[in-house]
Structure 1
């Protein structure tokens, strides 16, 4: 009979139990507290910054230049920071892209919201070619959609990097007389 063999076995069982408990704790934290949630993008306001309408009778051409100021905010509901790369926000009218603006790379701290004030020039030739534009303008409401896709990384526990791609599609209407955003509905999709 060896002396101390029971003691070594107890130490080995205690170390194994501690390692299993730590692994279980990390898994539970990763699936609950640190579970990656989608960033929430909201269109706060849309303002008409510039509007120029010109008529070239010789060429039978309408020249329209519209610039919108779009204020969006991105909320990071995660318990860790979210670092994202350059992205693009698209503005669509009835399924057709009529404008885009770059969203510069950055970082959003945990449980924080970052505001973006974007200046968006509308591709007016695409807007003018839509036959429903006149009826929407006369009704006083312009239905629009924004689509923002942000990809980046979330660091969990300081050393685990999780790649996150979050896209947000928001349907909303702009009241032409008040220029206010109404009836905003957003759909979120996140891929880890």
Structure 2
């Protein structure tokens, strides 16, 4: 009976430790906050538009362990059509830290008549995904993913950013 009592005690202690570690070291997805969007160069000729798109974001790792990100990307969409796509280089964010990410790419010329303009403003959509993994106690690896989507109002006349909604 003392062996059974000791075994029950060990099972209870092991279960309590596992639950405690799960709540303390539970992997959480990172958070993305888009801090700025810029259009450094803009050209509008004969109903076609081409520009350079720059997005700056802050990615925060809420976990205690480092977050290794890979296969992350930024996609730019206008009227349901993909205008641009770029991969974000792989990297690592230490536990409880934030990392600034900046992405800049050129968008090839496209026909602006694909969607009607609202008072001279074209609306593009930016979708940023950050994928990666977090190691818990250096034994367990969990895949986590975060996404941020923004609607950006761009003046069709001069390319200035009129509005940003994320």
Q: Do both proteins adopt the same fold according to a TM-score greater than 0.5, normalized to the shorter chain?
A: yes
Give 1:130's aligned residue.
114
SS at match of 2:16: helix
1:101 pairs, out of 70, 76, 86, with 86
Runs of 5+ unmatched residues, structure 2: none
For the residue of structure 2 that corresponds to 1:123, the secondary structure is strand
Out of 88, 109, 130, the position equivalent to 2:73 is: 88
Unpaired runs of at least 5, structure 1: 1-5, 56-61, 185-192
* Aligned counterpart in structure 1 of residue 126 of structure 2, from 146, 153, 165: 146
- The verdict on how the C-alpha distance between 1:96 and 1:54 changes in structure 2, with shifts beyond 3 A counting, is closer
Indicate how the Cα distance of structure 1 residues 147 and 77 shifts in structure 2: closer, same or farther if over 3 A, else same: same
Distance 1:113 1:128 in 2: 37
RMSD of aligned Cα (Å): 2.8
| Maintained 8 Å contact 2:33/2:59 | yes
In 2, the alpha carbon distance for the partners of 1:173 and 1:22 equals 52
Cα offset, 1:107, TM superposition: 0.9
**How many positions carry a matched residue from both structures?**
163
Contact 1:145–1:169 (CA<8 Å) still a contact in 2?
Answer: no
Secondary structure at the counterpart of residue 135 of structure 2:
strand
Offset of residue 44 of structure 1:
1.2
Task: Say which structure, 1 or 2, has more relative contact order (CA 8 Å, 6+ apart).
Answer: 2
**d(CA) in 2 for partners of 1:167, 1:102:** 15
Distance (whole Å) between structure 1 residues aligned to residue 34 and residue 137 of structure 2: 32
Change (3 A) 1:41 1:47: same
| Alpha carbons 1:70, 1:120 under 8 Å: kept | no
